[in-house]
Structure 1
């Protein structure tokens, strides 16, 4: 792991913990050391699951990823419409949403990634890096978070309260990472149908995650995600 990537991941863990632990009651913004320290393990677990899943899939595709904080330079379609610096969207977007929503919207998805094919892959015929490869890597993080979010929810139903917050934030992170910004945009470019279904599934799980029945959460989310995806296909893709 490169030093730049290590620093990006460290900053992301600290900032996500800050977002989770900050209590906004405008004009007051309350941050306590206790709540921040309790949020740190949650942030670490979320980032670890997200990044490890991406790197695992990338490895299976003979690719390498480098995680980075969400930023941009190009702000319009024309090539000349560029900033001279990386605009720190990872810092500005979560902060603005947290304040504007009075603490309701907590944007956890502040990571993006670069990917390149390993030399072994480029030597193989017809094995250059493709949009499909990038899509699989971008899908891995959110899917892993959804999977573990369901596991954390099951543990919380056994009476382990700490896992309730972990489950909610896992699903929230997954849903936000699927929105067409950074990671989610890469999946959208790769496959609109997979992007639409996965985003819808994550959205419905997020809506239902507070329910006491894990079976109901999964089945209802799956059914509604399939229905809206079918409707989207018939209306726009067929």
Structure 2
């Protein structure tokens, strides 16, 4: 737990636990469906494993997270107290979308983008077989330039190496543009018209691809005329 504010105020007492770096993002990941340590790491790629382990221990000690062992596997789950933070996490996301819309270069991460997209695959809309999307970001650093999204009827996975399957659609994109599309700041159609995103593959699949994803959690939130950071 963080340093004490020396106050009886319940906001102060809550923030003694919650305002340490990465803590609320760990909680957000648990709300988003991550259960295992490696899943949490993939959703928080810039958080060190040692710090993630420490935060999970702190949250468990505070009664917000339960650690469960299944043989050699360990899973983490929010407790009743942890789940009560959901409206706070959502409210923070809504506020950030409305008032801090601009992204710096450091905020653009293809690994995090694809991880978020894979969680929002609409399996009822994707062909009922294995479907493979190859995402290419030509302007990104070499080590994060290529990603594969492998979708089956029951699950989706992100690979940073060629899984060896036939490619159904290749998506070549400017990272900032595709991030804006995902966040709902731009439409797939406008990005395709501008040539900042391009699909390669059978026409039927190319036309259907945007509908294979459910909307980003915070897409469509109305913006004020003058954000505080623009």
Say yes or no: TM over 0.5.
no
What is the TM-score of this pair, normalised by structure 1? 0.23
Higher helix share: 1
